[in-house]
């Protein structure tokens, strides 16, 4: 597809990298000549310098032949204007990043009136991911399939775990748990395991299960399943606001520490049920005074990566809190992984993931298109959910008779609200949603899993 990306910041660069890898023709636009040139040279794409909302600049970028324009500049209004002009000029699909909470309440109206294909709010998306993580404290990362009925959970096998040294068949034969291990990260290697695969300490496993069955599995292997009762958040930005709005109705106590007095006053008005503290969240004595030692969860969400990392390491050293750390730069992800920070979230990756999901779905609007897409283990594996819309060579055939590509696993089938953990005799039917985990890249249709 011909795709134009307006904005060469973190999200724009991440999208350019991934979409160009998938074989799309990309043109990037940015007012900063150095930034546009840098992204264009790094990923071998076309770069245009100028204002992405300009008719002439969009023409230069080839808007008339474009299939999609993605606007991810730092300005909501500019993103919306870029999309509006692209719709009027080229008639292409458009995606806008919109961050302001004022617009968040009007997303449906904005989409309809401006003819946008998709609107993504990065802060709201990040808050939703944090909320999912707090639902399963033992998990490093949590995603969902089948409209939230199926959980995709990553966790690390600890020292002395009952799973260490056991084959995957032990989960059903020994623990009597109806869950599926769909990927294993061991050092630099990623495996899509078979039943005789043996687990080891320090493996990072991805588990597919319903919420109830996932809780039972964690309990049986000795991992915490206790409900989070309170959350301490350092930093009072928009993500914190959205997170508090999601957690407060669940009965979770919220304590926010924010340096800016005006922002504290705003949050106090917006979140009357939360406790908002005006102070420096990096001060050890303040953290002690506000109850860090008793905290069930600790979210370090300031604008500085180094600050967030140090805060989480400190919280882990003095408490049993579930830690969630915000990191913008992924240049040092290998070092960060070795620090064992618990859950580390990269906001730009969350935004890019949502947009990639939409792009994959666009490529095949009939047959069986991508409903959900998650990039696992630093992009080394993907979990995709397809909806089967019409009959094909996959439909009605027992799974054991399908000739699947290497490193592909059918993780679950959702049929009219019933979740099926797939066995050899199960079949895929029209109307099902099917979750697939693979180390292959670029699947657009369920038929892509076949040899």
**Secondary structure class of 406 (helix, strand, coil):** coil
Low-confidence ranges of the chain (pLDDT < 70): 224-225, 330-334, 363-369
The confidence score (pLDDT) of residue 187 equals 84
Q: What is the pLDDT of residue 367?
A: 44
Q: Please name which of 5, 2, 40, 41 lies closest in space to residue 24, comparing C-alpha atoms.
A: 2
Per-residue pLDDT tens for 106-163? 888 888 887 888 888 888 989 998 998 888 887 888 887 777 778 888 888 888 888 9
Q: Give the number of other Cβ atoms within 10 Å of residue 199's Cβ.
A: 21
- Res 142: pLDDT: 84
CA distance 328 to 305: 6
Query: Cα angle vertex 138, ends 197, 143, to 5°?
Result: 80
Whether residue 209 contacts residue 150, with contact meaning beta carbons closer than 8 Å, is answered with: yes
Domains and CATH numbers, the chain: 2-120 (3.40.50.720), 126-220 (3.30.70.1450), 230-345 (3.40.50.720), 366-449 (3.30.70.1450)
Q: Give pLDDT, residue 421.
A: 84
Q: What is the model's pLDDT at position 366?
A: 43
CA distance linking residue 204 with residue 199, whole number of Å: 10
Q: Are strands 433-438 and 381-388 parallel, antiparallel or unpaired?
A: antiparallel
Determine the length of the chain: 451
> CA–CA separation, 91 vs 89, rounded Å?
6
How far is Cα 120 from Cα 203, in angstroms, rounded to an integer?
Answer: 33
């Amino acid at each position: 597809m011909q795709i134009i990306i307006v904005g060469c910041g973190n999200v724009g660069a991440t999208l350019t990298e991934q979409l160009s890898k998938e074989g799309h023709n990309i043109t990037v636009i940015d007012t900063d000549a150095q930034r546009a040139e840098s992204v264009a040279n790094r990923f071998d794409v076309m770069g245009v310098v100028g204002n992405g909302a300009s008719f002439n600049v969009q023409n230069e970028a080839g808007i008339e032949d474009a299939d999609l324009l993605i606007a991810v500049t730092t300005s909501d209004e500019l993103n919306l204007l870029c999309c509006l002009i692209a719709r009027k000029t080229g008639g292409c699909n458009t995606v806008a990043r919109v961050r302001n909470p004022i617009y968040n309440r009007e997303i449906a109206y904005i989409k309809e009136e401006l003819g946008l294909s998709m609107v993504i709010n990065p802060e709201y998306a990040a808050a939703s991911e944090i909320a999912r993580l707090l639902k399963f404290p033992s998990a490093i990362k949590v995603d969902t399939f089948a409209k939230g009925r199926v959980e995709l959970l990553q966790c690390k096998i600890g020292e002395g775990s009952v799973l260490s040294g056991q084959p995957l068949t032990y989960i059903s034969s020994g623990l009597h748990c109806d869950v599926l291990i769909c990927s294993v990260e061991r050092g630099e290697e990623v495996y899509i395991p078979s039943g005789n695969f043996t687990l080891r300490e320090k493996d990072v496993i991805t588990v597919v299960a319903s919420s109830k069955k996932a809780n039972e599995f964690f309990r049986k292997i000795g991992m915490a399943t206790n409900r989070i009762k309170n959350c301490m958040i350092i930093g009072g930005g928009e993500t914190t606001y959205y997170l508090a709005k999601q957690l407060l109705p669940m009965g979770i106590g919220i304590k926010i520490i924010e340096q800016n007095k005006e922002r504290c006053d705003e949050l106090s008005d917006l979140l009357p049920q939360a406790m908002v503290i005006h102070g420096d969240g990096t001060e050890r004595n303040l953290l002690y005074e506000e109850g860090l030692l008793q905290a069930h969860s600790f979210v370090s969400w300031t604008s500085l990566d180094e600050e967030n990392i140090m805060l989480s390491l400190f919280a882990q050293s003095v408490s049993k809190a579930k830690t969630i750390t915000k990191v913008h730069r992924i240049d040092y992800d290998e070092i960060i992984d070795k620090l064992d920070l618990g859950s580390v979230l990269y906001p730009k990756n969350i935004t890019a993931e949502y947009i990639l999901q939409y792009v994959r779905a666009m490529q095949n609007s009939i047959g069986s298109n991508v409903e959900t897409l998650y990039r696992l283990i630093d992009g080394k594996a993907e979990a995709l959910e397809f909806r089967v819309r019409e009959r094909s060579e996959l439909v009605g055939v027992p799974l054991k008779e399908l000739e699947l590509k290497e490193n592909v696993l059918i993780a679950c089938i959702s049929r009219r609200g019933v979740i099926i953990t797939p066995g050899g005799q199960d079949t895929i039917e029209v109307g099902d949603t099917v979750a697939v985990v693979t180390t292959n890249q670029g699947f657009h249709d369920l038929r892509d899993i076949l040899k």
